[in-house]
Structure 1
Amino acid sequence: MRHDLDEAVIDPVRVTLDPVGLLPPAVQDTPPRHRARIAKRVPRVAIVHDWLVAFAGAEKVLEQIVTCFPDADLFSVVDFMEERTWMRGKKVTTSFIQKLPQAKKRYRSYLPLMPLAIEQLDVSGYDLVISSSHAVAKGILTGPDQIHVSYVHSPIRYAWDLQHQYLQQSNLTSGVKSLLARMVLHYMRNWDIRTSNSVDHFIANSAFIARRINKVYHRDSHVIFPPVDVEAFQLCEVKEDFYLTASRMVPYKKIDLIVEAFAKMPERKLVVIGDGPDMRKIRDKATPNVEIMGYQPFSVLQDKMRRAKAFVFAAEEDFGISVVEAQACGTPVIAYGKGGALETVLDSSHARPTGLFFDEQTTDAIIDAVEGFELGAVKINPADCRANAERFSIKHFRDSLRAYVQSVAPHFTLAPPAMPPLPVADPAIAAAALQLDQDHEEADAMRVLAVDQSGVLGGAELSLLEVMKNMRGTNETVLFDDGPFRIALEAVGIKVDVLDGAALGGLSKDGGMKRSGTGMIGGVMSLVRGTLEKSRNSDVIYVNTQRAMVVGAIAGLISRRPVVWHLRDIVSQEHFGKTQLTIIKWCTKLMLERVIANSTASAVALTALTRMKEERLDVVFNGISAEPFTELESVAQHELRARFGLPQDAFLVGSFSRLARWKGQHILLEALLEAPEMHAVLVGAALFGEDAYEAQLRAYVLEQGLADRVHFLGFQHDIAGCMKAVDVVAHTSISPEPFGRVIIEGMLAKRPIVAARAGGVTDIVEDRENGILCTPGDVHALAGALGELSSDAGLRKRLVEQGYANAINRFGTERYVESVQKILSDVAGKSRLKRG
């Protein structure tokens, strides 16, 4: 039995090209019982996974296994997944642990029962069993006429070489509990070795894990690297002067070592993204040159990865997906030279290096490596980093896995990886399916120019971002101001042009102007010229805000391109001046092809103003991704409160919006006077010249002696984390809200909602069903609702459950993006026919 792996074994590309000729000895010696089966038939396939609780690295591998074997049935010890689209509608067969007390939150506590649980899952009716295992899945019971292929992320690490580290971290180094834990782990090791004999063929996720499998199980394994979605990352060859590290903040990731190293290099800037149990310790070690950003959404992480000078990685990982993702952006890697990094990073011994290694997990070793990188010890080309990352693409994984399985089971004919089309007998259904295909083809060919006035990430911009990053076709954006919105768009691969919109900065919603009318007109025409230039290669102009609508409408009129306005305001005298309403009215009547309203209230107000025909107006509710919220499910509330410097024991009421009078933060502060046991958390900043209102809020807090009960957090990127840190989300607008995005976010955060009964809010909240509605501006009603929630845990629980279901079922991003795309595609198609 070999302890080293030759190139043929660890290169999945070569396996794909010639799977049979390059197989390890274990595969070449396939038992006769497997060859004796009926030739070339489609097997029944079972896929077994350890547990389904969060969409992390192992689940990303599982997603691709499911894609490779679309007709397979899925088994797991427990299944508490909330985001299930990647499962392709599969029902999961689970074990008895699924129904044990508190299994959802404390499933790991049932580890001693998991060997028994996995053995009770019945897969005897299947020909081919594929297990995805980092704990117990490989222990599934199979018979002599079944083939069991196990993709091993790692043998149970905390039972083997990381046992002592696990016991230390769990404070189980001494005492009766320590003795019990050691006995359980001893039992797990014996069971782990015994069940390895029932696996016919092992697949390791790296040569590093292949060596671990060999050491623990005395078995050879075939290496297929995990799939990395390299296509989600764009190459960036222009780097900025900062280093990046990103990871879950747990001890073995060694983020604290990286921070300590940069603390000794004050001239080098480090950005740290991630969250976890070690957050406080890492923050305490940070110096002014180290920016701790905490958890960040994917768009921010991607943007930082693209622009970083290098990615620093100090963990001993089995594989290390983030290392590959950094290289996909063209970013070099400075990594600890052990574990999976040795297989994913190419050092100076290669012709086209992508990074360099340090030999010890110490601050001095990291400092030496960074200084060597600064001095140019290794010349690294961003394009070479990208090319290396593409070795680990999703396509390579799928091709390699199917080729390997086919080689160990040559008597089977594997079903194609793509989902087979549904049989269509009804001509009407067939016609509808054909139309859907045509719609998709048109959408793929569609060229959209989106126009927005802002550079900040307000609600309208976040909603546009969701459309642009998920919509098919060629999409570009014009902004009238620079800022975080531009960064977020570019981070998802959208081309952005920023025009000088300073001329519009003095124009307010009420029609007032801070500069002369002549200067304003000149500024508008300058923006029209810039937008017109970009629109000539577009099929449709998609304008997102009121000022952008005026500019886009004029540009569309000149370029003969249809204009679709996504209306995110209530166009009434409460929100706009007479001049602005007149402009909106005539632009809508004469220059716009269609209008998309984000709520019934927005649509009603526009219809009252313009009398536009029903067929030109569509109501599409905003879609909001649940991913930032589900990613925090495992983070305790006390950790989130510590992250934002909030009190641990107080009942916190959160307000999430920019600081503006019509948003009504002062109503919440007044309600605090009637609810002395509560605290208010104000998340948001005065974005559009509303600094005086913020000053009034702060003065009121001091005058009323509320300084220890009101927490101003300012603008925050991590809205999901802030929402999960509070107990209730309060929406206090005193004027009708066009939609109410924060209400949906609060529901996704699983927090009870108290909201003002007006505008688009009534499309979202059913009083006493999924939230509580109050009269706008009614301080006493708000205080009463908050008091009721603080004292009634049952009410909070019911509102949270109904609210979450409402948010997921009615305001998902997929439905939202498809609806907007369908409207734009229809408009673009009609326009192309007219132009002939």
Structure 2
Amino acid sequence: MNHDLVEEAALRPAARSGLTGPVLAPAVSTPVAAVRTPQGAHGKVRVAIVHDWLVTYAGAERVLEQIVACFPDADLFSLVDFLDDRTFLRGKTATTSFIQNLPFARTRYRGYLPLMPLAIEQLDVSAYDVVISSSHAVAKGILTGPDQVHISYVHSPIRYAWDLQHQYLQQSQLTRGPKSMLARLVLHYIRNWDVRTSNSVDSFVANSAFIARRIHKVYQREADVIFPPVDVDAFTLNEQKEDFYLTASRMVPYKKIDLLVEAFAQMPERKLVVIGDGPDMQKIRAKATPNIEIMGYQPFAVLHDRMRRAKAFVFAAEEDFGISVVEAQACGTPVIAYGKGGALETVRDLTHPQPTGLFFAEQSVESIVAAVEDFADNPRRFIAADCRRNAERFSAAHFRERFFAHVRAAVPKMQGASLPAFDAPPADTHVPSANTPRILAVDQTGVLGGAELSLLEIMKALRARAEVVLFDDGPFRTALDQAGVTVNVFESGALREVRKRGGSVPKWAAFKDIVALVRAVVKQARRADVIYANTQRAMVIGALAGRFARKPVVWHLRDIVTSEHFGGKQLAIIKWCAKLGLAHVIANSAASKRAFVELTNFDSKRVDVVFNGISAAPFDALADVPQATLRALLNLPQQGFLVGSFSRLAHWKGQHVLLEAVVLNPHMHAVLVGAPLFGEDDYEATLRAFVVNHGIGDRVHFVGFQNDIAACMRAVDVVVHTSITPEPFGRVIVEGMLAQRPVVAARAGGVVEIIDDGVNGLLCTPGDAHGLADTLAELRANESLREQLVANGNRVARQRFGPGNYVASVERILKAVAG
């Protein structure tokens, strides 16, 4: 399948909150049974899913994501697996081939094409009843037996070995010479192998009728058509169109962006906006005239905004399917497309009673100009709501229903089986497997901060194989006790005064306390297979203890290790520990990973990105509690637009920016949930003095430390995140989404890995009080925008940041490190 959109999209406060007083609702949910692979009359059906390679999240991987959702207990196989974020796979890791361990495989796996047929045949799936291959290269060549059902979802037969061979050789500059001859021999071998292995497939599924015809041409086999899933819910309908046309794609030759630019150059009265980047960028820029805006690569929020407002989306490529064409229609935007390939199946032309676009017959400037002129003569022929309804035929839910039904019909054991619920969270019922290692988790504090809440999720799930060491007592120890986790507290003494920015602890006192802590952890580690350090001070002690106890150490990195957050001595210690005793690092965002690798030169292959997992249960438990009840319990005004900040009171968390915005916006109240923790009492005093000096005491509410974050968030109208330096993750953002409140956050660090600006939240410049005030004023006035952000935010939080994926990913890494 072609991956045709240029789109990429992007969470932590330390103090949590909780209501004192009457209990509103239980903070636990009814246990949800883990979704299992469907069973028929003959017992459990064992399913294996085979994918070509796992290196990114693009079009083929979107299909794989939905196949995994249909069969959540299936095992996964792939030639290579180099994913950093495997959230979309529900934390699964793949059994890989020998190519995984070949030199430069992470970046140059395609260069091993001659070995791929052999490699895919070495993957052993003989223990499974059903084998599902997701194939655009060699996955369909997996070896299966006569008692197994092999269903192959084909994105395309190997295009560069079949009809695009000559184009591939030309682009690779392999048209003549010895290398060309070798390449042609390899492709000839691949073609023969490709045809032969098609005989082992029991049922073909194509992503379009266009690909079904290609399958018939190449393999002489029929294929059912199930269109690939498009995330139409991420795109919102807009019926008010503006006077410009849009195209968006990777700038490569077959996309024909240059033809579109040349065509609009001949229509100076019509504006074209071009989004995308690629090898042809300079050539396309050179052809652009003043009526053509070349925007280059843009994040998803910008793409979404232009798609919603464009008069029409123009598309000149011959695609197998064409996701962008469907996404444009999901925005209510009609399409002007080349009348060949997948567009013929996704766009309804003027012969349909509810048309969603029109076609041009040739990939030529003249044909494009004629089609645009035809569209411009009467754009009222196309109704935005009709475009949206057409796009909904390609939703992910529709894909799951059709694909599961196809598999069920092909597998006798599955007759009568039902499709598993898509969003059933497995987190609270996670059972560690027999080979889960014995884990010693180490944390530096007893305070219930964001890092500790994230560790709590893991320990609740893995408590049968884990125990925790804390360097301080407090609410975190109580929470672990209540969850049935074994806890030991070893006082940190003078080390308690050490801060990220440094401290004035006497050297002898620090040395003595370090020795004591290391000895205590070494003693506990003798019963463990792996030491799992959750915070920076815990990592230092853990790294030393790991050397003495001869145990591997995994650090769960929850900070951006730069001079903005850490002092020079602390950064030097982190570099030293990375070399001394870290076997692996789990980063809570790509931003955290980048900073750590840049600081330490640590092998990036030994750093995995795992987004924090946050349970929706406390938020769901309050779904029927009126907001007025929650406000009364917190002594908040019943009327007014309440904006909530949820974190410890610290300068870098930026609560002062929110107060400055309150001064600028007289219709807004600020609710500050949290307290100063690490010697930051002076900052709270500064905030209170600012409130008094500016006369906003009636609109600023300090509610202090609270335990019930869900109740506090549902009491306000908007959740804000105002950190003035990059946040490693931003847990409060996901919590706000689960509380079904619109979220406004500072554009930096891991935050941009959670929020698509304008889609599931809004982003502001860090430290910009005027920008924050304007954004909040817009939210207050725009109810439809608030509803859109809430719906999209809640969906993203549940799908991408559920605790099930989080726990499974961490458990997988600890297993691998423990060996």
Q: TM-score, normalised by structure 1?
A: 0.54
> Matched residues in 2 for 1:602 and 1:374: separation?
46
Displacement of 1:602 in angstroms is: 13
**Deviation of 1:358 (Å):** 0.2
Name the amino acid aligned to 2:181. L
1:545, 1:566 within 8 Å by CA — same for their partners in 2?
no
The alpha-carbon distance between structure 1 residues 567 and 162, as it changes in their structure 2 partners (threshold 3 A), is farther
Supply the distance in 2 between the matched residues of 1:327 and 1:59 (Cα, whole angstroms): 22
Partner of 1:440 in structure 2?
A: 619
Q: Report the Cα distance in structure 1 between the residues aligned to 2:164 and 2:126, rounded to whole angstroms.
A: 34
Residue deviations 1:692-739 (CA, integer Å, cap 9, x gap):
xxxxxxxxxxxxxxxxxxxxxxxxxxxxxxxxxxxxxxxxxxxxxxxx
1:417-436 equivalent positions in 2, closer than 5 A:
417-418=420-421, 419=424, 421=426, 423=429
Asked if the contact 1:260/1:285 (under 8 Å) is kept, the reply is: yes
The alpha carbon displacement at 1:308 in A equals 0.4
SS at 2:150 equivalent: strand
Q: Equivalences for 1:198-217 in 2 at 5 Å?
A: 198-217=200-219
Residue number in structure 2 paired with 1:141: 143
* Aligned 8 A contact 1:549 1:565 in 2: no
Indicate yes or no: 2:295 matched with 1:293: yes
CA contact (8 A) 1:330 1:383 kept: yes
User: Which amino acid in 2 is paired with 1:563?
Assistant: V
Specify the code of the residue in structure 2 equivalent to 1:393.
S
Which of 591, 605, 618 is equivalent to 2:701? 591
CA distance in 2, matches of 1:379, 1:76: 47
Matched, 1:180 2:182: yes
3-state SS, counterpart of residue 197 of structure 1: helix
Structure-2 residue corresponding to 1:271: 273
Q: Residues 665-716 of structure 1, C-alpha deviation per residue, up to 9 Å, x if partnerless?
A: xxxxxxxxxxxxxxxxxxxx9x99xxxxxxxxxxxxxxxxxxxxxxxxxxxx
Question: Which residue of structure 1 lines up, in the alignment, with residue 396 of structure 2?
Answer: 394
1:380 pairs with 379, 382, 402, which one? 382
Sequence identity, in percent? 60
- Residue 356 of structure 2 corresponds to 354
Structure-1 separation of matches of 2:401 and 2:483:
33
* TM-score (normalised: structure 2): 0.55
Work out the number of aligned pairs and report it: 505
| Structure 2 letter corresponding to 1:441 | D
Q: Write the distance in 1 (CA, Å) between the matches of 2:252 and 2:681.
A: 50
Amino acid at match of 2:658: T
CA distance in 1, matches of 2:374, 2:336: 10
2:109 is matched with 107
Structure 2 letter corresponding to 1:242: F
1:356-505 to 2 correspondences below 5 Å: 356-376=358-378, 379-412=381-414, 414=417, 416-418=419-421, 419=424, 421=426, 423=429, 438-441=617-620
| Alignment-derived partner of residue 128 in structure 2 | 126
Structure 1 residue 331: Cα displacement: 0.1
SS of residue matched to 1:593: strand
Distance 1:188 1:403, change over 3 A: same
Which residue identity lines up with residue 671 of structure 2 in the other structure?
V
Determine the C-alpha separation between the residues in 2 that align with 1:57 and 1:815: 17
Paired position in structure 2 for 1:30: none
Displacement after TM superposition at 1:572 (Å): 8.8
1:424-469 Cα deviation digits (max 9, x unpaired): 8999999979x966522157679999xxxxxxxxxxxxxxxxxxxx
- 2:282 is matched with 280
Q: Residue 625 and residue 175 in structure 1: after superposition, are their counterparts in 2 closer, same or farther (change >3 A)?
A: farther
Cα gap change, 1:815/1:74 in structure 2, threshold over 3 Å: closer, same or farther? closer
What is residue 116 of structure 1 aligned with on the other side? 118
C-alpha separation in 2, matches of 1:439 and 1:629 = 22
Tell which has more relative contact order, 1 or 2 (C-alpha 8 A, sep 6+). Answer: 2
CA–CA separation in structure 1 for the residues paired with 2:380 and 2:156: 32
Contact 1:566 1:598 (C-alpha < 8 Å) held by counterparts:
no
Asked if residue 624 in structure 1 is aligned to residue 753 in structure 2, the reply is no
What does the per-residue CA deviation read over 1:210-259, in whole Å, with 9 as the maximum and x for residues that have no partner? 01001100000111000011111110000011111011111111111111
* Structure 1 position 42, deviation (Å): 2.1
**1:548 aligned onto 2:551:** no
Tell me what 1:234 maps to: 236
Q: What is the alpha-carbon distance in structure 2 between the residues aligned to residue 303 and residue 321 of structure 1?
A: 17
Show the counterpart of 2:154: 152
Question: Which structure 2 segments of 5+ residues have no match?
Answer: 1-38, 432-459, 462-478, 485-613, 629-636, 647-654, 706-719, 728-744, 757-763, 772-795, 804-819
Change (3 A) 1:326 1:424: closer
Cα RMSD after superposing both structures: 4.6
CA gap of 1:554–1:345, structure 2 versus 1, over 3 A, is: closer
Contact kept, 8 Å, 1:69 with 1:415, in 2: the verdict is no
SS of 1:296's equivalent in the other structure is coil
Could you report, residue by residue, the CA deviation over 1:816-835 in whole angstroms, capped at 9, with x for unpaired residues?
Answer: 9999xxxxxxxxxxxxxxxx
Shift of 1:290: 1.1
CA distance in 2, matches of 1:261, 1:624: 41
Cα distance in structure 1, aligned partners of 2:109 and 2:726:
46
Q: How does 1:642-653 map to 2 (within 5 A)?
A: none
> Is this contact kept in 1: 2:63–2:228, CA < 8 A?
yes
Supply the AA of the counterpart residue of 2:130: L
Kept in 2: contact 1:224–1:397 (CA 8 A)? yes
Indicate if the aligned counterparts of 1:554 and 1:591 stay in contact, CA closer than 8 A. Answer: no
Q: 1:338 — aligned with what?
A: 340
Task: Kindly state the Cα deviation for residue 346 of structure 1 after the two structures are TM-superposed.
Answer: 0.1
- Tell me which moved more, 290-299 or 321-330: 290-299
Q: 1:337 to 1:818 in 2, by over 3 A?
A: closer
Between the aligned partners of 1:587 and 1:245, the Cα distance in structure 2 is: 51
Q: Is the partner of 2:381 in helix, strand or coil?
A: coil
CA distance in 2, matches of 1:602, 1:586: 28
Maintained 8 Å contact 1:624/1:813 = no
- Does residue 563 of structure 1 match 2:742? no
Q: 1:398-434, CA deviations, whole angstroms, 9 ceiling, x for partnerless residues?
A: 000111100111322657524574548999999979x
**Secondary structure in 2 matching 1:411:** helix
Taking structure 1 as reference, are residues 312 and 92 closer, same or farther at Cα in structure 2, changes over 3 Å only? same
Deviation (angstroms), 1:40: 3.9
CA–CA distance in structure 1, aligned partners of residues 753 and 220 of structure 2: 40
Cα offsets for 1:48-89 (capped at 9, x unmatched): 000111101000000000000000001110111112111111
Deviation at 1:545, TM superposition (A): 2.5
- The 1:147–1:91 alpha-carbon spacing in structure 2 relative to 1, beyond 3 Å, is same
- Superposed CA deviations along residues 779-799 of structure 1, whole A, max 9, x for unmatched, are xxxxxxxxxxxxxxxxxxxxx
Structure 1 residues 624 and 168: CA distance shift in structure 2, 3 A: same
Q: Is the 8 A contact 2:658 2:722 kept in 1?
A: no
Q: C-alpha separation between the residues in 2 aligned to 1:332 and 1:534?
A: 41
- Aligned twin of 2:507: none
Paired with 1:222 and 1:409, the residues of 2 have a C-alpha distance of 15
Letter in structure 2 aligned against 1:624: G
Distance 1:196 1:429, change over 3 A: farther
CA distance in 1, matches of 2:401, 2:800: 33
In structure 2, how many angstroms separate the alpha carbons of the residues matched to 1:89 and 1:577? 42
Indicate the residue corresponding to 1:248 in structure 2.
250
Q: Which residue of 1 aligns with 2:784?
A: none
Moved more, 542-551 or 256-265: 542-551
CA distance in 1: counterparts of 2:89 and 2:73, whole angstroms: 11
Equivalent AA in structure 1 for residue 662 of structure 2? M
Write the distance in 2 (CA, Å) between the matches of 1:196 and 1:241: 49
Letter in 2 for 1:44: R
Q: Which runs of 5+ in 1 are unaligned?
A: 1-36, 450-530, 557-561, 604-619, 631-656, 664-684, 689-811, 820-836
Q: 307, 319, 331: which is aligned to 2:321? A: 319
Contact 1:356 1:378 (8 Å CA) reproduced: no
Distance 1:92 1:302 in 2: 33
What letter matches 1:583 in structure 2?
N
Helix, strand or coil for the counterpart of 2:133? strand
